[in-house]
Amino acid sequence: MTGVISLLPEGRPGLLAPLLSGAWLSGGSEDLARYLAEGGYAPLPAPDRLLDRIAAAGLRGRGGAGFPAAVKIRAVRDAPGPPVVVANGEEGEPGSVKDRWLLRHRPHMVLDGLRLAAAMTGAERGCVYLSDARAERAVRRALAERPPELHIDVVRTEHAYVAGEETAVVRRIDGGPALPTAKPPRPFESGVGGAPTLVANVETLARVALTHSRPEAADDVAGAHLLTLAGARGAAALVEVPVGTHLKVLADLCGHGRAEAVLMGGLFGGLHGAGWTDLPLDHESLTAAGGALGCGALYFLHPEDCPVAVAGEATAYLAAQSARQCGVCVSGTGALAGTLTSVARGTANHDTTDQLHRWSRQLPGRGACGLLDAAARIVATLLAHFPDRVDAHRGSACPACADPAPEDGRRFRVPMP
């Protein structure tokens, strides 16, 4: 892996910049004394003031949906009953490493954000939810270094695509399996132990902490993003970039300048072909282009890569990762993956393509979580951006698609920096 790279302008506060500016890591985790010197764990005399600052800066959640953080916090604060706050560090997307990196290297910043979330909501109980063993050790060390002001549990789960979905998080913390449940109710209404619960991504919480320690830079903090960049033929990196950075800049950064397409948002944002290089990194532009930033993982496709093969492997992985609780998800993801396999093998016809078009329109929104939506979006964007490549497979197998799509998502896995 290329490593950890900050593209933030000099002097702009970020989550990666302190690491790059000096050797402050001890045993792989940030030093408490250094974090305190940077303004960490500062007193919070007026929680509502911080909440207003977060709202004004427009901080969005970094778990995938991009929901306004202040709205989510207020919903939990205003719900009846004593709330619970959860730092969600379970990265289901195989191409993302940002949350594990933060928990391993900046646990105090995440815990600081959790402390602030508790103050803003009135919670007296918190939880750090994760699946990475090294991250768990780092968090427990940080808790021992500075005992928290509220009761905090550390709950470890098995890694799975759906394990980080917010209702799955609640279910696992309550002692059940890490599988999604039907909604409503949502966690802000009835979560851990039936209490209103804030399930916040760890990057979101880290940015809350940085906003508190650097209030004058709240807009910059809210606008920056951690991204995982990868591809089959270039390097990979964890980067922090300001909002508006063009995707072409990101591709060039890791040697993917020859890329002709990108799989966006982990497996959630779909495939994008012609014109992707001109897309700026912001939710509105990506949504308008039919994509989504999701967890901030980008996978670049070079001219030698076949988008049908990439889509086939992605849908096969999603089908294998289904929680198998929703019949429509089991049958839908299986049908999409199986049909893409027939396209890859050259046995598809016009009816096959029509089926894929129909399913990609009908399936979104019908599962308990976003897994089915992700599979449908991959197929929809493949058909929209690469119709000629799909047609070229009709009647003849593609060498790049010769092997059956593996179900382990290995194409998209990124080594940790």
pLDDT in tens, 359-406: 999 999 888 888 999 999 999 999 999 999 998 888 777 777 776 667
Closest CA to 140 of 249, 55, 27, 11: 27
| 260 and 358 housed in the same domain | no
Mean pLDDT for the stretch of residues 118-144: 96
Q: Examine residue 4 and state whether it is found in any structural domain, yes or no.
A: no
229 exposure class (CB count in 10 Å sphere: 0-12, 13-18, 19+) = buried
pLDDT attached to residue 24:
45
Beta bridge partners of 177: none
Choose the final residue of a domain: 221, 242, 258: 221
Which CATH number covers residue 242? 3.10.20.600
In a domain, 5, yes or no: no
* Least confident range of 2-16, 113-127, 198-212, 253-267: 2-16
Strand partners, 201: 88
Same domain, yes or no: 128 and 159: yes
Among 39-43, 145-149, 341-345, the minimum mean pLDDT is found in 341-345
The mean pLDDT of the chain is 91
Q: Where is the domain boundary, 193, 221, 249?
A: 221
Q: Distance between CA atoms of 337 and 71, rounded to whole angstroms?
A: 37
Euclidean distance between CA atoms 83 and 1, whole angstroms = 40
Range of the domain at 125: 11-221
* Span 241-269, average pLDDT: 92
Q: Would residue 177 count as lying in a domain?
A: yes
Largest CA distance in the chain: 69
CA proximity to 154, closest of 180, 177, 135 = 135
The residue assigned the tokens 């490549």 is: 389
* CA gap 255, 142 in Å, rounded: 36
- Cα angle for residues 242, 243, 245 (degrees, 5° grid): 80
pLDDT at res. 252: 93
Residues 249 and 312 in one domain: no
In a domain, 138, yes or no: yes
The band of 2, judged by pLDDT with boundaries at 50, 70 and 90, is low
Residue 10: the pLDDT is: 83
Domain boundary among 283, 301, 319: 301
Query: Given pLDDT bands bounded at 50, 70 and 90, which one contains residue 145?
Result: very high
Asked if residue 278 is part of any domain, the answer here is yes
The count of domains in the chain is: 3
Q: DSSP label at 156? A: E
Flag whether 252 is in a domain.
yes
Which pLDDT does position 261 carry in this prediction? 95
- Is the same domain home to 213 and 236? no
pLDDT tens per residue across span 147-166: 998 999 999 999 999 999 99
For residues 152 and 283, membership in a common domain is answered with no
Q: Is the pLDDT of residue 21 over 70?
A: no
Return d(Cα 235, Cα 201) in angstroms, integer: 26
User: Do residues 215 and 231 both lie within one domain?
Assistant: no
pLDDT, residue 59, reads 96
Average pLDDT of the segment spanning 252-258: 91
- Asked whether residue 242 falls in the same domain as residue 197, the answer is no
* pTM: predicted TM-score of the whole model, two decimal places: 0.94
pLDDT at 20 over 80: no
* Torsion of the alpha carbons at 172, 175, 181 and 183, rounded to the nearest 10: -90
Query: What span, in angstroms and rounded, lies between the C-alpha atoms of 136 and 91?
Result: 14
- Around Cβ 384, how many Cβ atoms within 10 Å? 15
Query: Would you call 256 helix, strand, or coil by DSSP?
Result: coil
Q: Which of 234, 245, 323 is CA-nearest to residue 285?
A: 245
